[in-house]
Amino acid sequence: MIRLIKDTNIDFIGKRKYAYILSAIIIFAGIISLIIKRGLNYGIDFTGGTIIHISFPSKIETEDLRGVIEGMGVRGATVQKYLEGYEFIVKIGPSDYPKGTSFSADLLEILKNKFPNNLPEILKEETVGPRIGKELQRNTLIALIIGLFGILVYVSFRFDFRFGTSAVISLLHDTLTTITYISLFNITVNIPVVAALLTIIGYSVNDSIVVSDRVRENIKKFRKENFLTLLNRSINEVLSRTTLTSITALIITVILAIFGAADIRDFARVMSFGIITGTYSSIYVVCAIVYDWQQRFPNR
């Protein structure tokens, strides 16, 4: 078995108050950011907008097309390759184009001037209404609530109610800190970003279960051991496994964040942060809450 970290004896639970403070600062910063920015930067999937299918006779780079669009003052546009180097899908929100005139006509005119030997053609243009956005938001919220409830029932049944509740609090912590990251860095919230949030929840609960499972094993093995010592022992025993898993996943998401397309980059950036905060919460949040709960309401 590969061990990235040798045997450790770190007092994680003893430092839990510092972790509480750090988490509170991050979440508070997210709340302030959301208030100042009046919410998240929702993409076309949620707000509605315009979708343009544009074609070129010869290949051009995605970044060249994105540069033209940004030069028009549109910062939140999504540019996706449809046919390698020849066709692209451009998505913009209803208020992304500051001039307020026909975006497609202006874009076509600028592209013809910039690429006179590669004249583009708009194959299709359609408008997505905001009702689709509201439906997506509602379905996302329902999925999150059902997922959290299912996790609470599963972990409570497999371990006990304290661990189930702590796991759900950990997931809420990871979701809130990730939303803080999204807000602070003004990442456009679209379907890939929502997918990243849901994936982070699954990743986080997996880490929480691994730690909780080791605690359950050690409770049976070290019945007379102090609960604080037992929790620290359990976290230290899975630390190498948790770290190795996180680094492996981070390598992939960082590569995608650097070399992926625009939507994939946002997905990968959110996933990278989520992996970090998920690992942090499985070490500092789950067992810390269980320990404080045990101190207030002792349970054999």
To 5 degrees, how large is the angle CA 101–CA 107–CA 108? Answer: 115
Same-domain pairing of 27 and 137: yes
Same-domain pairing of 162 and 254: yes
The CATH number of the domain where 262 resides is what?
Answer: 1.20.1640.10
The CATH number of the domain where 123 resides is what?
Answer: 3.30.70.100
Distance of alpha carbon 274 from alpha carbon 30, whole angstroms: 15
Instruction: Look at residue 2 and tell me if it is in a domain.
Output: no
Same-domain pairing of 28 and 149: yes
Residue 176 near residue 278 (C-beta atoms within 8 A): no
- Per-residue model confidence (pLDDT) at position 67: 87
Same-domain pairing of 278 and 166: yes
- Per-residue model confidence (pLDDT) at position 182: 93
Residue 260 near residue 182 (C-beta atoms within 8 A): no
Distance of alpha carbon 118 from alpha carbon 64, whole angstroms: 13
Structural domain boundaries enclosing 118: 49-128
Distance of alpha carbon 204 from alpha carbon 212, whole angstroms: 12
Q: Which two tokens stand for residue 175?
A: 């979701």
Instruction: Look at residue 268 and tell me if it is in a domain.
Output: yes
- Per-residue model confidence (pLDDT) at position 132: 61
Same-domain pairing of 23 and 155: yes
Same-domain pairing of 86 and 215: no
Instruction: Look at residue 7 and tell me if it is in a domain.
Output: no
Residue 192 near residue 262 (C-beta atoms within 8 A): no
- Secondary structure letter of residue 93 according to DSSP: -
Helix, strand, coil percentages in the chain from 3-state DSSP, rounded to 5: 65, 10, 25
DSSP conformation letters of 274-298: HHHHHHHHHHHTHHHHHHHHHHHS-
Same-domain pairing of 71 and 20: no
Q: Which two tokens stand for residue 4?
A: 């990235």
Same-domain pairing of 166 and 251: yes
List of E strands, the chain: 49-55, 78-83, 87-92, 121-128
In this structure, the number of other CB atoms found within 10 A of the CB of residue 279 comes to 22
Residue 190 near residue 266 (C-beta atoms within 8 A): yes
Same-domain pairing of 145 and 240: yes
What three-state secondary structure class fits 131?
helix
Residue 242 near residue 213 (C-beta atoms within 8 A): no
Same-domain pairing of 206 and 75: no
Domain boundary residue among 113, 128, 143?
128
- Per-residue model confidence (pLDDT) at position 91: 84
Same-domain pairing of 173 and 262: yes
Phi, psi of 154 (to 5 degrees): -65, -50
What is the pTM for the complete model shown? 0.80
Count of the separate structural domains present in the chain? 2
Same-domain pairing of 249 and 174: yes
Per-residue pLDDT of the chain (300 residues; tens, 9 = 90+): 455 566 777 888 888 899 999 999 999 999 999 999 888 888 777 777 888 888 888 888 888 888 888 888 887 778 887 766 678 888 887 777 777 667 888 888 888 888 888 888 888 888 777 666 677 678 777 877 887 788 778 777 777 788 888 888 888 899 999 999 999 998 888 888 888 988 888 888 888 888 888 888 888 888 778 888 888 888 888 888 888 888 999 999 999 888 876 668 889 999 999 999 988 988 888 888 988 888 887 765
- Per-residue model confidence (pLDDT) at position 42: 81
Distance of alpha carbon 76 from alpha carbon 186, whole angstroms: 10
Amino acid, single-letter form, for residue 45: D
